[in-house]
A and B are shown apart, each in its own frame.
Chain A
Amino acid sequence: MIYRNPKIPEGINYSNANPVKEFALLASGAIAIIIMLIYLLGSLLDWSSKFIPFAYEQELAAPWVEEFKGTPSTQQNEVAKYLQSLADDISPLMGLSDEVEITLHYIDTDTVNGVATLGGNIFIFRGLLEKLPSENALTMLLAHEMAHVKLRHPVKALSKGALFTLLYAVLSGQNNTDVSGLFSGTSQFAFLGFSRSQEQAADDEALLVLQKYYQHTQGAFELFTVLLNENSTIETINIFNSHPAVKKRIASTIRTAKVKGWKIKGEVSLMPDSIVNIIEKKHSKSINDTY
């Protein structure tokens, strides 16, 4: 028997192909699958959130709301009462379902913000309230936040947040992510971000309410003007960052008003003096405190 070791050609047992190509193909496939999964689960959550009882939302939010609100002073309560009465006035126009209950809170800080969160809790900050020129603008703001509650945006945002945390925990294989604590913590309720389409939907609802209440939509423009000034001067993290660019909102409002034949200008009513006094007194006091 004759033994020989011939030279074996290269590339039989392995491939000479560029691994980067393979990597790009597989990674983009994997990413596409993940995005699709997120999209599908997100849509499912969006659709199914209407089955979450409102009472459950309220229960979930209660401890955090108490903590965030602190102990309001008599004057703060007075402002909150005023906001609440305005909200109660417009809520019949909103077509809220029976179980939904809107609770207004007034927070005495400089934050230029209004927040709708779980359980129908709406927070209006002095920083924004003191800048509003009329009750019409305030009505637009309240209607906008109430529209978020009506459309169940807070609970949608919360369930999406939970979904992302869960997916992240699963994909990264981490075992220290507190998945069980997703709903028990309180801080994550603070400022739920809404998507642009959700903001648009809330704007549309609010505009309709404004038209029904005042027979014109000037309040919307007044509110947007305040936001426009705010956006260009202060770079703080507030809900308006997630809002569609203010200029676009103004344009879309004009378009809607035109299509529906609504008046853009009209008579505005001012906020009651007693409320304005409280807000401005607080304001000048805080300025004195600072300087």
Chain B
Amino acid sequence: MGQFQFEIGFSILLLLLGYFFGRHAEKRHFNSIRQREEEYRDILSIASKVTTAEDSAKPGMLVTGSVVISVDYFKRFLALLRTIFGGRVTSYETLLDRARREAILRMKEEARSLNADRIFNIKLETASISKNAAGNIGSVEVLAYGTAISRVNQGGF
């Protein structure tokens, strides 16, 4: 069963590669997210539709931020094991947390380029690319969108 041993060896190699590269990428991404979240702290993202007296009465602008992140082999394997035993799929939780925060950050980036200060009515959408089709890379897309509005006397649009 030389083929069997080859496949086992190859899977272990993929697991190791997935673990080391995936973990490195995740760490870097989280650091960058935390840093940029501080940068964009002044732009408020609000789930409500209700504006206040401070907000400009000018029409709002649609702002979007979308991100696609791929699952590494290690995370996939861990999630696969979870399908046997059940429980929190922690390996995907970090992935989706990163994706959501990155999408919001990109949306804020767009808002800043429009000189907006607040984003109302924020919505988040998650889509899995390629679904569960065999042989495909499992990737996830998160789209964040909302209505950007500037404050009264702040210039803006």
Residues on A facing B (Cβ under 8 Å)? 1-5, 7, 10, 13-15, 17, 19-20, 22-23, 26-27, 29-30, 33, 168, 172
Find the B residue at minimum CB distance from A11.
Answer: B97
Interface residues of B in 55-79 (CB under 8 A from A): 74-75, 77-78
- Cβ of A3 and Cβ of B78 under 8 Å apart? no
CA distance A172 to B74 in the complex (A): 17
- Cβ of A3 and Cβ of B97 under 8 Å apart? no
- Cβ of A3 and Cβ of B118 under 8 Å apart? yes
Find the A residue at minimum CB distance from B37.
Answer: A7
Q: Which residues of A contact B127 (CB under 8 A)?
A: none
CA distance A13 to B75 in the complex (A): 17
- Cβ of B44 and Cβ of A3 under 8 Å apart? yes
Q: Which residues of A contact B93 (CB under 8 A)?
A: 13-15
Find the B residue at minimum CB distance from A17.
Answer: B90
Could you list 23 examples of A-B contacts with CB < 8 Å? A1-B50, A3-B44, A3-B118, A7-B37, A7-B41, A13-B96, A13-B97, A14-B90, A14-B93, A15-B94, A17-B90, A19-B23, A19-B91, A20-B19, A23-B77, A23-B78, A26-B81, A26-B84, A26-B85, A29-B81, A29-B84, A33-B84, A168-B1
Known: A19-B74, A22-B90, A23-B74. A30 touches B84 (CB 8 A): yes
Whether B88 is near chain A, meaning CB under 8 Å from some CB there, is yes
- Cβ of B52 and Cβ of A27 under 8 Å apart? no
Interface string of B1-20 (1 = CB under 8 A from A): 10010010000000000010
CA distance A14 to B90 in the complex (A): 7
Q: Which residues of A contact B96 (CB under 8 A)?
A: 13
A171 to chain B, nearest CB (A): 10
Known: A3-B48, A5-B44. A22 touches B78 (CB 8 A): yes
Q: Which residues of B contact A14 (CB under 8 A)?
A: 90, 93-94, 97
Q: Which residues of B contact A10 (CB under 8 A)?
A: 34
Find the B residue at minimum CB distance from A33.
Answer: B84
Q: Which residues of A contact B45 (CB under 8 A)?
A: 5
Q: A13-B93, A15-B88 are in contact. List 16 more A-B contacts (CB 8 A).
A: A1-B50, A1-B52, A3-B44, A3-B46, A3-B118, A5-B44, A7-B37, A7-B41, A14-B93, A14-B94, A19-B75, A19-B90, A23-B74, A26-B81, A29-B84, A29-B85
Known: A5-B41, A30-B84. A19 touches B78 (CB 8 A): yes
Q: Which residues of A contact B118 (CB under 8 A)?
A: 3
- Cβ of A27 and Cβ of B81 under 8 Å apart? yes
B84 to chain A, nearest CB (A): 6
- Cβ of A4 and Cβ of B44 under 8 Å apart? yes
Whether B36 is near chain A, meaning CB under 8 Å from some CB there, is no
CA distance A19 to B23 in the complex (A): 10
A48 to chain B, nearest CB (A): 24
- Cβ of B52 and Cβ of A2 under 8 Å apart? yes
A36 to chain B, nearest CB (A): 13
CA distance A5 to B4 in the complex (A): 54
Q: Which residues of B contact A33 (CB under 8 A)?
A: 84
Q: Which residues of A contact B50 (CB under 8 A)?
A: 1
Known: A5-B44, A19-B74. A26 touches B91 (CB 8 A): no
A69 to chain B, nearest CB (A): 28
Whether B82 is near chain A, meaning CB under 8 Å from some CB there, is yes
CA distance A158 to B1 in the complex (A): 15
CA distance A10 to B37 in the complex (A): 12
Find the A residue at minimum CB distance from B51.
Answer: A1
7 nearest A-B residue pairs (beta carbon): A26-B81, A14-B93, A14-B94, A15-B90, A14-B97, A13-B97, A5-B44
- Cβ of B78 and Cβ of A26 under 8 Å apart? yes
CA distance A196 to B75 in the complex (A): 40
